[in-house]
Structures are given as C-alpha cells and as structure tokens.
Amino acid sequence: MNISPLQKARYEYSPKLPGMLKGGISQICVEVGEPTQSVADQDKIKALFPNTYGKNEITFKQGTNTSAPKKQVVGVILSGGQAPGGHNVICGLYDALKATDAGNVLYGFKNGPSGLLEDDYLIFDDEYIDQYRNTGGFDIIGSGRTKLETEEQFAVAAEVCKKHGITAIVIIGGDDSNTNAAVLAEYFAAHETGVQVIGCPKTIDGDLKNEDIECSFGFDTATKTYSEVIGNIERDANSAKKYWHFVKVMGRSASHVALECALETQPNVCLISEEVAEKKMSLSQIADYIADSVEKRAAKGMNFGVAIIPEGVVEFVPEFSVLISEINELLAGSKADAFNALPTWKEKYEFIEKGLTAESMAVFAILPEGIQQQLFLERDPHGNVQVSLIESEKLFSEMVRSKLAERKAAGTYKGKFSALHHFFGYEGRCAFPSNFDADYCYSLGYNAFMLIQYGYNGYLSKVSNLSKPADEWVAGGMPITKMMNMERRHGEDKPVIRKALVELDGKPFKYFEAHRDEWAVETAFTYPGAIQYFGPAEVCDITTRTLALEKG
C-alpha cells in the first residue's frame, strides 16, 4: 500500500498520556470523589436511573492497582458524525486492554450502534489497529446514527453481549450518543447483565462540555483546519482587495466553532447565534450589522473583508423561527399537495401570501427569491422545512447587497461590493488529528479501559487540566447522569445531556466582544497556517484559543 511520508510518520507517533496513567497498568489506583447529582431535574433523572444515578466522581492516580483480575471482552462503537481522533480512542482502549492481559479481546461493532444490534463486528489485532494510529476519520469500523433507546433494542444488545461473553461496551459519541450510553447502562444494571457501559465525549461542534468535560475531542483539529483555510482566504482578500468572503462553518446548535475560528483569524465580522437569540436580532438587523462593516471599510478604500457565519444562526432569529413554524403548518397534510400542484412560482407566492400572517410575510418578503424557494421546495420526510439546508452565507450576502443599494441611493455608501461564498464542514471532520487531539483521544481510550477494569458503569471517560502539558492532565471518570436534564423531544419529556452553548459572559466571548469593533473596520487578519506535528511544543501542542482563555 502506498502511503504519504506524513502518514508513515503519524503511524509512528507515540501519543502522550497523563502522568498518572504512565507508570503501567499495575501502578494505577482510584481516588473516590464526591457523590454527584444531575445538572437539573434531579428527582426525575434519579427516578429514571435508579441504578446509575448519584455515583461518585473518580480520579486515577499512581499507586497499587487494586482492581480484581478478570478477563475482559470489550465492544467499541463509533456513533454519530466523524471527528478527528476517534481512531486514537480505540487505539488507547486496545493498548490498555492488551497491556492488562494479552488474552483480553476488543470487538469493533461496525457502522455505529446498528452493528451491535445486527451482531456485525470485527475483532481487533495488532496488525489491523496499527494501520489507523493517529489518523483521521472513522473508517476503522465506520459510524452510524442509529439510536439505542427502546427496550427491544436493549434486549437485543444484551443477547449479543451474552453471545460473545462481552463484559463492557464503549460508546464514542456526542451528547445524544452518550445519552443513549447512559440509558443502556441503566438497562444493563437493572437486568443484572454484568455488562458495563462507558462513554467518550466526541463532537467537533464543541457543545459537549461542562465543568468536567473541558473540551470534546475533534474540536481542536477541526477548528484549526477551518482556521487555516479562513486565514488563507483572508490573505487572498487582502491581496486582491476586491471581494467580501462569507464563510459558513459547522455549528447547528452552538457557535463554538465560529467563535474559535474568529479568535484564531480575527475576521471583520463573526455572528454568534447565542448573541443573536439573546438580543432578539432580526434578519434585517443582522444584515445592517454586516453592512455597517462593509460601509466603514469602503470609506477607507477597503472594498473587501471576511464574515464568518455559524451554520444554524437563522434558527436563533426569533422572527425566522416563527416563519418556519407557519410554513410547516401551511404545508401540513393535503395542503402540501395543493401547493405543489401550482404550476408557477408566481401562483405559489400568492398561495403563501394568503397563508402567512402579515408579520411572517414581511420577513419572507425580504428574503432573496432563491432562499424563498428553498424554504418551500426542500422539506424533510415529515413535510418540515430543512433549516440546515438553508445557505445562510448566501442569504446574508444578498441581504447586505440590498442594504448597500439602499445606502448608495441615499448617498451614504460609495463603495463596491462583490461577494464570494464558502462552507467549511466536512473538510475538518476527518483531518489528521493535531498532536493535542491525538494525545487527548488516546488518553480517553486508555482511561476508558481503566474505568472498565475497576468496574464502573454509566461513566464518561474524563481527562481534564487540558490547557497544561499532557503530563499534567488529570484522568478519571464521572457518571453520565451528572450532565443530564429533561427536555421536550417529539412531544415527550426525555432525559438528555444538556448542550453547552457559547456563554456570553465567558472569557472567550468577552475577548471577542472587546476586539470585534476594531476588527470590523481595520484589516487585523491573523494567519494560523497549517497544523504542525513536528517541532517545538509551543507550536505543535498548543490548545485552542477557547480553552486557553477559559483556563488561562
């Protein structure tokens, strides 16, 4: 097989471990911390998780290993979207498992949780796993989005585990996947299956975080990948001096990716969805905000710039959310057939005008025609608007163009405006992991096996103190139920892990807020460059700006 020199070098990279995990398996012991409770809705969560709720946080430290010797047969699942470093979680898990007892076995269930339900698996060996060390992607076993949430599924999972003598399952995923891990752990405990469940925190969106989980894995690599390209675009913009680049980045529910990329590259504009919601900003106000930067820069002879747009920002605009609800209602049931039967867009537009309230029609009317049609022509299987498909970068550039035309007519704007559009998403999800993510993920996997060895169930593998060198990282575990609250999902109250949104009083946002007015007018671009894997630690092992500001 032909491989690149970098790929060969990454295979040979030895990930760094936290100090307390370095001395060999026989020299790792447990320090038991305080009992825990859920982040909210304590009585309801406790009632739903009587066997796994309220357990103690634990920290590993150097000392004599007191776990009972036992052959371990472990299954591992990759769940949800890809994130750089997932392969290293499995490598760390495998290495700890084999270092404890060469007879231990690791099953990889293929293509996500469905692999467990369908008994579709492979058994890892050294030759196979060595092909994936320190590489990006989830192709080692594949991933999937099947949810483990019904009693029937749990019963099938228990039977598959019993068939293979599996003692523990490790689920590598985001908030929904780890919610499923907690529910599965409770089922296994209630039915005395003897099977443990351990979760690992993954998502490039950065919204699986709290006082215990300082950073989800993959966020570091993905944001560095996006920031490199945004920096390249900034340099091009500053060279050509004739384009405004509108860059959409991943982040449907939270704006952590957009904020981190802004801190790395200092663009002229970066929208933060959480601030849009807090200030109840309208689409028109957002467009005016961007147009202000365009106008002020044009007055200085700079008809170019860069604006970063979070993927899900339109869902945070109150008037837009109301519009979407009305459109979904307008097209419910047989009314959708009547709408689709209309032969021209003009007739469809008249249908829409009659069906929407005056307030929502006013919002709809200011949208570019392409976006209007997108709202009505691209719907999910339930007939609802697929908001994630809306090209918000094009929406805002067109609205800014209209605002500038009005200003030009009023004589307040004399510049030129040409827009280019980009969406950075999949480009970052399978990148070669940074040294940080390679180390962090390997530690999460290694640590997950220690939680298994010591008999914990319903716990999340936890590595903290991440803004310091890896030797100072702290490894341990926390009950997944600690992160949970009740939320309304599909008309029912469900226990779920609370998503972490950008905190508007947090240090990362406050730093951004203090500098953005200057960035909006001046050309203050910074150019992070490519991820570095070899060289001084201050270049190769740096954490994200978000983590540095939060913990620095």
Q: Which residues carry out catalysis?
A: 205
Rounded Cα distance, 247 and 71, in Å: 51
Rounded Cα distance, 295 and 472, in Å: 48
Rounded Cα distance, 408 and 149, in Å: 57
Residue type, 506: G
Residue type, 357: T
Q: Tokens 């999972």 map to which residue?
A: 157
The SS3 call for residue 167 is coil
Rounded Cα distance, 62 and 435, in Å: 24
Q: Do residues 410 and 205 touch, judged by C-beta distance below 8 A? A: no
Q: Determine the straight-line distance between the first and last CA of the chain, rounded to whole angstroms.
A: 44
State both tokens at 326.
Answer: 């009305």
Q: In this structure, is the dihedral angle defined by the CA atoms of residues 41, 252, 294 and 525, taken in order, positive or negative?
A: positive
Dmax (CA) of the chain: 81
In sequence order, the β-bridge partners of residue 78 are: 172
Rounded Cα distance, 324 and 331, in Å: 11
Report how many helices (DSSP H) and strands (DSSP E) the chain contains, helices first. 22, 15
